[in-house]
Structure 1
Amino acid sequence: MPVEGQVLARAVKQAQYRQHRSLDGGLARVGTTPAQWDALRAIARSPGASARALAAQTYQSEQAFGTLAARLVAQNLVERRPGRGRSFEHHLTPAGEKVLAAGHAVADDVLAEFFAPLSDAERATLLDLLLRIGRTE
């Protein structure tokens, strides 16, 4: 019997919500949020990137990322430097690197627990399936 797309979409959303709530609680203990930690991760992966590039990496609008980046600058976690044209380059500060590392430790623990019900083979299958439906071409 085929599973309806809406049922699958709801199950994905429910799992995503549970994961987000777990990360939210853990990251709050180290002084950050999932959105902030995701932005720090994106900046660490692409130092010097523009807000436009970082917004795309974090699935946000440029305006939303700009607001978030301004908060990170105010918290001394990110530094903005003049870039090409009117754009700014984004770099982590030493404080930002510490928060990012603390966030990684939290995420490792939270996600190990989150995915614990799945075997290694099931995790690999889940990853393959999610990558397959998430591809944009």
Structure 2
Amino acid sequence: MPASLQEVGLAVKRLQWRHHRTANARLAAVGLSLVQWDVLRHLHERPEASLHELAQLTFQTDQSMGALAGRMVDRELLERVAGAGRAVRHRITERGDEARRAGSDVLDGVLQESFGGLTPAQLEQLHTLLTLANGAEVP
């Protein structure tokens, strides 16, 4: 009997929850939380991103992103830079980039535990299916 939509949804949620818990626990060793690493990752990929864009990319509110950015500035992971008009942008510091790279290694290990047994074709198929389920076009 094929899996129901609810069973598939629950399996996706359980995997996501396991990744989140495991990543947070292991990232603590490099001084980051998952959301901090995610901010560094997205800001590395989009150096001109606004706080609003970072909030959307990391599934936060603008207010929580602003508070998080402030804490990350205090820890010298980010620095504030002037933007157009009154806009304030953030840039990754050298310390922040070192933390981002260390965090990426941690995340690669967490994801390897889940997906390392899949063949390249299975990984591609999983990516395609998840991309389609999220309403995006497959590249």
Q: Is the structural similarity TM-score above 0.5?
A: yes
1:2 positional shift:
4.9
Q: Aligned residue for 1:102?
A: 102
Please name the residue that 1:68 is paired with.
68
Amino acid at match of 1:17: W
Query: How high is the TM-score relative to the length of structure 1?
Result: 0.90
- Which one is further off, 112-121 or 30-39? 112-121
SS in 1 for 2:30: coil
Q: Distance in 2 between matches of 1:106 and 1:126?
A: 22
- Matched position secondary structure for 2:24: helix
Q: Counterpart of 1:7?
A: 7
Unaligned regions of 5+ residues in structure 2, if any? none
Alignment correspondent of 2:114: 114
CA distance in structure 2 between the partners assigned to 1:86 and 1:6 by the alignment: 47
Residues 96-105 or 59-68, more deviating: 59-68
Give distance in 2, aligned partners of 1:135 and 1:71. Answer: 34
Structure 1 residue 86: deviation in Å?
Answer: 3.2
**Do the aligned residues in 2 keep the contact of 1:43 with 1:91 (CA within 8 Å)?**
yes
Q: Which residue number in structure 1 is paired with residue 89 of structure 2?
A: 89
SS class of match (2:47): coil
Q: TM-score with structure 2 length normalisation?
A: 0.89
Q: Report percent identity of matched pairs.
A: 40
Q: RMSD between aligned alpha carbons?
A: 1.7
Bigger RCO (CA 8 Å, 6+ sep): 1
